[in-house]
A and B are shown apart, each in its own frame.
Chain A
Amino acid sequence: MSGKMCSSNSVIQAQKLVDQLQLEASMERIKISLTAADLVRYCQDHRRSDPLLTGIAASSNPFKDKKTCVLL
C-alpha cells in the first residue's frame, strides 16, 4: 500500500515536471541578434541621463552641501 502511495506521488511529481517543461518549450523566442540590438539601443538612448556614467557637477549634486551666501 505504501508502495502504491510512493509511486503515485512520484507520478504526480514527474507529470508536473513534464507540464512545466512543455510550458517552457512552447515559449516564442526571438533571435539574439534582434534582442541584443534592443538592449544596446536602450543603453545608448539613456546614456546621457545616467549620472553614474556621465558624472554630476558639484552645483547640481543633491548630496553636496549648498554653499551659503554671506552678506558682508
Chain B
Amino acid sequence: MACQGLQGGETVASLKRESESLRKKLEEERKKLSDIELNQVAEKIEVLGPLSIKTRRVLKGHGNKVLCMDWCKDKRRLVSSSQDGKVIVWDAFTLNKEHGVALPCTWVMACAYAPSGCAVACGGLDNKCSVFPLSLDKNENLSAKKKSVAMHTNYVSGCTFTSSDMQILTSSGDGTCALWDVESGQLLQSFHGHTADVLSLDLAPSETGNTFVSGGCDKKANIWDMRSGQNIQSFESHESDINCVKYYPSGDAFASASDDATCRFYDLRADREVAVYQKDSVIFGASTVDFSLSGRLLFAGYNDYTINVWDVLKGTRASILFGHENRVSRVRVSPDGTALCSASWDNTLRVSWAAYL
C-alpha cells in the first residue's frame, strides 16, 4: 500500500516534468517562427484616413442593463437581452420593437438570432438556453412556445446557432462549452478543458470548417474541433479574464477582449499572439470585440463607456466612439458590414455607421 502510494507519487512527478518540458518546447517552436511582427508586414500599406463613424440611432426600450445583442441575417432586425430578464426583437431601420418576451430569470447574458430569422435563443442565470420561435402574429405570447434546449450546471454566458436552426453551441460558468440538438434538447458534444468560467465563444466562418474559439476566466482562449470535442490549440497571454473572443473574417485568426484592458490578435496558423491593442490611457477592462467586414478595423467596447476602433494591422487606434452612459457590454457589426450596433448598461442600444465625407 505504501509502495503503491510511492509509485503514484513518482508517476505524477515525472508526468509533471514531462508537461513542463512540453510547455518549453511549445514556446520554442512558436518563437522559431516569429521572424517578423505583424505591424512590420503592414508598414507598406496605406495609413487609414479619418473615419466618419458616428452614432445615428438609439434604441430605447429596455428598462435595465442590456447585456447582449445579435443581428439577424436580414441585416435589419436584431435581438437584445437584459438584466431584468427581457428579450426584445427590434427592427433597426424603423426602431420598432417587433417582439418582446420576459424570461423568468434575471441576467440574460446570451442571446442569438437563428440563421432562418424565425427564432431566437437566449439564456443566463437560469443555467439554460431556450429557443423561442418568432411568429408573424405580434400579439402571440412567445413564452408559450418556449423550448428549453441547453442545461448547464452554472450560468450560460454565450450562445450561438451553428449553420442551421437545428443546433446551438453554448458557453457556461460551469467551465464547459456544449453542442445541443434544438429539437430533442440532446447534448451532442461537450468541450472540457477550461479551468474556470467560460465567458464567450465564436464559431469559425463556415468556409474554414468545424471549429470554434472560447475564452474565459482562466485567461485562456481555446480552439475546439466541434466533431471530436478535442481542444486543438490554446493561447494564454492575457493577464486577466477574457470576456469576448471573435474570429477574423478569413477564419485564420481571432481577437480577444480582456479585463486586463487590452485586446489581442492571435494568428492560428503561426499559433501565437501577433498583436496587442493597448494604450496607457486605456485602463478599463474591454468586454467585447468585433471586426469590420474586411478585418481592417476592430471595434472594442470598454467598461469606461467608450468604443475604441483599432487598426488591426498597424496596431494603432483609429478612432473612439463616445455616447454610451455606462459600460459597453456588446458590439456587433451587421451582416453586410454597413453598421455597428453597441449594447450598454445604460439600457440602450446604439447603431452607428460611416457616412461619405
Contact = CB atoms under 8 A, between A and B. Distances in A.
A37 B270 CA distance: 12
B82 interface: no
Contact of A15 (B1, B15, B33): B15
Contact of B8 (A11, A20, A27, A55): A11
Nearest to B356: A55
Nearest to A29: B271
Interface string A44-72: 11110111111111100111000000000
B26 A24 contact: yes
B252 A39 contact: yes
B353 A10 contact: no
B234 A56 contact: no
B224 interface: no
Contact of B29 (A18, A29, A36, A39): A29
Interface stretch (B145-153, B162-170, B290-298): B290-298
15 contacts: A4-B8, A18-B15, A18-B19, A27-B233, A27-B271, A29-B271, A35-B267, A35-B269, A36-B38, A36-B42, A36-B267, A38-B269, A50-B294, A52-B333, A63-B351
Interface string A1-38: 10110011011001101101111110101111101111
Contacts of B297: 50, 52-53
A21 B337 contact: no
Nearest to B352: A52
Contacts of B25: 25
Given A4-B5, A11-B12, A51-B337, A24 B36 contact: no
Given A32-B267, A32-B274, A43 B340 contact: no
Given A35-B252, A56-B356, A21 B295 contact: no
* Category for how many chain A residues contact B: 35 or more
Interface of B: 1, 4-5, 8-9, 11-12, 15-16, 18-19, 22-23, 25-26, 29-30, 33-38, 41-42, 45, 48, 51-53, 56-57, 75-76, 92-93, 193, 230-234, 248-250, 252-253, 267, 269-272, 274, 292-297, 312-313, 333, 336-340, 351, 353-357
B67 to A, nearest CB: 24
B83 to A, nearest CB: 27
Which of A10, A37, A39, A42 has most B Cβ within 10 Å? A39
A11 B4 CA distance: 12
Contacts of B16: 14
Contacts of A35: 252, 267, 269-270
A18 B14 CA distance: 10
B42 A56 contact: no
Contact of B75 (A37, A42, A53, A62): A62
A53 B313 contact: no
Nearest to B340: A52
Which of B1, B274, B337 has most A Cβ within 10 Å? B337
B17 to A, nearest CB: 10
A3 B19 contact: no
B353 A56 contact: yes
Contact of A51 (B12, B56, B253, B354): B354
Given A4-B5, A31-B35, A56-B355, 14 more contacts: A21-B23, A23-B230, A25-B25, A29-B30, A32-B267, A33-B36, A35-B267, A36-B36, A37-B41, A39-B248, A40-B41, A52-B339, A55-B356, A63-B56
